[in-house]
Amino acid sequence: MAYIRAYPRSSIRHVSREIGVSVGAVHKILKKNKMHAYKPEFVQHLRIGDSERRLQFLSWFSVQFEIDNLFYKNILWTDESKFTNNGVMNKQNNRFWDDTNPHWSRETNFQTVWGINVWCGLIGGILLGPYFYDGTLSGRRILDFLVNQLPLLLEDVSLATRENMYFQLDGAPAHNAIIVKNYLNEIFPNRWIGTNGVIPWPARSPDSTPLDFFLWGHLKNVVYADPPINLQDLKNKIRLACSNLRREQINAATSTELLKRLESCLEHQGGNFEQFIR
Sign of CA dihedral 120, 211, 219, 244: negative
List pLDDT tens digits, range 92-137.
Answer: 444 454 556 665 555 555 446 789 999 999 999 999 999 999 888 9
pTM: 0.84
State residue 86's pLDDT score. Answer: 74
Q: Would the pLDDT of 40 be above 90? A: no
Q: What's 255's DSSP letter?
A: I
Closest C-alpha to 214, from 274, 151, 136:
274
Percent of the chain having pLDDT more than 90?
80
**Contacts with 180 (C-beta within 8 Å, 6 or more apart), sequence order:** 139, 142, 143, 146, 174
Q: In this structure, are residues 30 and 4 in contact, taking their beta carbons and an 8 Å threshold?
A: yes
